[in-house]
Amino acid sequence: MGAALWPPRFNRLRTKLTVLYAGLFVAILFVILSAVYAAVARNAERIVRDELAVSGLVFDRIWSLRSHELESGASVLARDFGFRAAVATEDAATIQSALDNLRTRLGIDAAFVVGLDGRVLAASSKSPARPTDAVLQAIAGQDTSAGVFVMAGTPTRRSRPPS
C-alpha cells in the first residue's frame, strides 16, 4: 500500500488509449464550445447594437413628428387674432379657454402662456403643476422652439411657436 495513487499508472494499452482519447475528446469539445459561445456572443451583441440604432432612429423620427405637431398647434394659436387680443389685454379666462382647447386638440397634459416678462399669464385648467421660476428662466435662455425640462419632478416636453 505504499505505492502512490497519483499519477495513475495504466498497465494496459487499451486503458491508456481510452483515457487519452477521452481527454482529447473533452479538450476538442471544450475548444468547439468556446468558439461557438464566442461567435454567438459576438452575433448577439451586433444584433442588439443594430436594433438599438434602428430604435433610436425611429424614436428620433417620432419625437420630431410630435415636436412639429406641437409647434404647429402653438403657432396656429399664436397667430389667432382673438388669442392675441386676449394676451394683450391679459384676459385670463379667454386665454385659459384657448389653452384648454389646444390641450384637448393636441392631447397634452398642460399648456401655459408665458409673458415677455417671464411670468405665467394663464394655464390650461387641468395643468398638473405650474412651471417654477428656474424652469421659466431655463426656457427663456434656450434658442430652440422645443425641448425637455423638469417640472414637478417629471421630465416634460415643451414647445413654443417659432419666433
Model confidence over 31-83: pLDDT tens digits?
Answer: 999 999 999 999 999 999 999 999 999 999 998 898 889 888 888 998 999 99
Q: Report cis status (omega within 30 of 0) of the bond before 7.
A: yes
At residue 7, the 3 state secondary structure works out as: coil
For residue 95, being part of any structural domain is answered with yes
Beta bridge partners of 157: 148
For residue 1, being part of any structural domain is answered with no
For residue 2, being part of any structural domain is answered with no
For residue 28, being part of any structural domain is answered with no
Residue 152 phi/psi, 5-degree rounding, is 55, 40
For residue 14, being part of any structural domain is answered with no
For residue 36, being part of any structural domain is answered with no
For residue 18, being part of any structural domain is answered with no
In terms of pLDDT, which residue wins out, 142 or 92? Answer: 92
Residue numbers of the domain that contains 130 = 66-159
Smallest Cα–Cα separation from 80: which of 54, 61, 105? 105
The mean pLDDT value for 86-106 works out to: 89
Cα atoms in the 13 Å half-sphere on the side-chain side of 11: 0
**Structural domain total, the chain:** 1
Q: Which three cell numbers stand for residue 160?
A: 413654443
For residue 22, being part of any structural domain is answered with no
d(CA 55, CA 159): 23
d(CA 155, CA 122): 21
Average pLDDT, the chain: 83
Q: Which three cell numbers stand for residue 145?
A: 422652439
pLDDT tens-digit readout, 103-147: 899 888 888 887 777 777 777 777 666 666 666 666 666 655 566
At residue 155, the 3 state secondary structure works out as: strand
Cα atoms in the 13 Å half-sphere on the side-chain side of 110: 18
